[in-house]
Amino acid sequence: MNRHLATAAAAFCFLCIAGCMEVEQVSNAQKQAGQTVRRDTNPWSNEPLAAGPGWKKGDRASWEEQIKKRQFAQHEDRRIYQ
């Protein structure tokens, strides 16, 4: 009985001491900026709007192709002089 009591007391003391210990802090030299947030999706993985510009859902190349056309629409010289 005394033996169990002593063991329990020792375990309790160990837990109390362990609670006061400092957690080891290890610097992560491999960490790079911009790597924490990883939950955004790509624009081409969306369904295009019904009446808007079209591309094939999930196809990056087709999305880039139509956005490129949109970019060139900013080029009024091309629209006016051709």
Partner 1 sequence: MARMKFLCDAERCIECNGCVTACKNENEVPWGVNRRRVVTINDGVIGAEKSISVACMHCSDAPCMAVCPVDCFYKTADGVVLHDKDLCIGCGYCFYACPFGAPQFPQAGAFGLRGKMDKCTFCAGGPEEDKSEAEFKKYGRNRLAEGKLPACAEMCSTKALLGGDGDVIADIYRERVARRGAKGAEAWGWGSAYGQPPRSGQPGAAPATPAGGKS
Q: Which residues bind partner 1 (CB under 8 A)?
A: 31, 33-43, 45-46, 48-49, 52-55, 60, 63-64, 66-68, 70-72, 74-78, 81
Instruction: Compute the distance between CA of residue 44 and CA of residue 60 in angstroms, rounded to an integer.
Output: 6
Give the shortest CB-3-to-partner 1 separation in angstroms. 51
CA 54 to chain centre: 27
Q: Which is nearer to partner 1, 11 or 79 (CB)?
A: 79
- Return the exposure string of 59-70: e unless at least 16 CB atoms fall within 10 Å of the residue's CB, then b: eeeebeebeeee
Give the shortest CB-73-to-partner 1 separation in angstroms. 8
